[in-house]
Amino acid sequence: MSDGNLQSDVLETPCAKKPKIDHENEKNGNDNQIPLNTFTPTKVLSNNTNRKTVFLLGKFKDKSGVAIVILEKNAFKEEELSSEGYFSAETRVHTFFNNDIYGNFECYPISKINGVKTTVIYPATDKHIAKYSKQEVHIVLESPDCYKNLTLPHLQKEQFNLQWVYNILEGKSEADRVVYDNKCEKEGFVLVPDLKWDGLTKESLYLLAIVRQRNIKSLRDLNETHLPLLKRIRDEGKKAILDKYNVAGSQLRIYFHYQPSFYHLHIHFTYLQHEAPGIYAEKSHLLDTVINNIEIMNDYYNKATLPFTIREMDPLFNIYETNGYVEKIKRIVNK
C-alpha cells in the first residue's frame, strides 16, 4: 500500500466523508497570555542534560498557585544552517581553544533563531509536580488481574483531568494547530502537534491522533470492534502527514504508550530519526503490531501481561510495592 492511498476496508464505512485538513478556526479557547517574564523559579524538578531539557517549579508574580515551566533547546533546522543565521557577520564567537587543526568554540547566532522552546503548566497540581520530578523508575509486569484489581481502581480515582483533550475535540482550543480532523464520532480522530513539538521542525516531528470516542482509555480496552478505527488512524494519519510535512509513512514511528500519560485513547506519530521520549520497549507498542495482535486474538489486550514503567513518586508505585509486585529496596537516607 502506498502512502497516498487509503485501504478500501477503511474507506467503506458510514463515516467516510471527507474530513477537514489544516482546519482553520478562530476559536482558540483561553486567550489569556502567560506572563513568562514574571516567572520566578523556586526548584529544579529535573534536568535532562541528554535532551537539553529542564523542568522548573515556580510562581508567577501576582498569581496564586504554582507553575511548571519546561525549557528545551530547539532542534536544528537544516534550512537555517544553510542561511545567514548561524554563520554571519552578526554571529559572536567565544574561543575555548585552538590546537593545530582542532578548535572548540561557543557560538552565539542571531537571536531570532536562538530561542528556547517553553512549555507552561499552570496551575500545576501535585500530580504534575510528581510527573516531572527526577526519581527512581521500576518496571512492573501487569497481569490482567493486576490491571483489574490494582491499576484500574487507581485510575478511576486518580487520573489527570481530561478537559484539555475535550477542548481540542470540540474545537474550543488549539483549533488553529489541527493538522487533520475526521469528525465521525465512531471512527473519527483529531491529528494535532504534540505539546513537545514546535509544529515546524521536521527533524523532531511529533503528532498525536486523539480519538473522538470517549470510552476507550488505553490498549487494555481495545478489541476487534476497534480495528476499523485503528486502521483509519494509521492510514489517514500517514496521508495527512505526507501531504503537509512531506514525510512518508515508512519514515514514521506510529505507536501507543502503556501506560499512557493520560487515559483517553491516543496514538503517537513521530519521525523515525527523532529519538522521542517513551519510544523504548518497556513503554511503546507499535500500532501495526497492536492491530496484528487483535486480528490474531480478539481479546489479546484483555488477556496479555503488559510491562510498564513506574516512578517512585507515583501513588500507583506504593500500591504495587505494598502488594509485592515491586522489589523492595533499602533506601539510604542522607543525614
Q: Decide if pLDDT at 30 tops 80.
A: no
pTM: 0.69
Domain spanning 31-73+115-125: CATH 3.40.50.80: no
Looking at residue 133, its pLDDT comes to 82
Contacts of 125 (CB under 8 A, 6+ apart): none
DSSP 76-103: P-HHHHTSTTTSSTT-EEEEEEEETTEE
User: From the CB of residue 156, how many other CB atoms can be counted at a distance below 10 Å?
Assistant: 10
For the ranges 96-110, 185-199, 298-312, the lowest mean pLDDT is seen at 96-110
Architecture of domain 135-322: 2-Layer Sandwich (3.30)
User: Which is nearest to 171 in space by CA: 60, 49, 57, 20?
Assistant: 20
Spell out the domain ranges in the chain. 31-73+115-125, 75-114, 135-322
Q: Decide if pLDDT at 173 tops 80.
A: yes
**pLDDT tens digits for 245-262?**
999 999 999 999 999 989
Instruction: Give the pLDDT mean for 30-57.
Output: 82
Residue 112 to residue 115: CA distance in whole angstroms: 7
User: Which is nearest to 127 in space by CA: 160, 101, 155?
Assistant: 160
Looking at residue 32, its pLDDT comes to 55
Instruction: Give the pLDDT mean for 2-12.
Output: 36
**Of 266, 268, 274, 285, catalytic:** 266
Q: Is 257 a known active-site residue? A: no
Range among 16-25, 130-139, 194-203, 265-274 with highest mean pLDDT value: 265-274
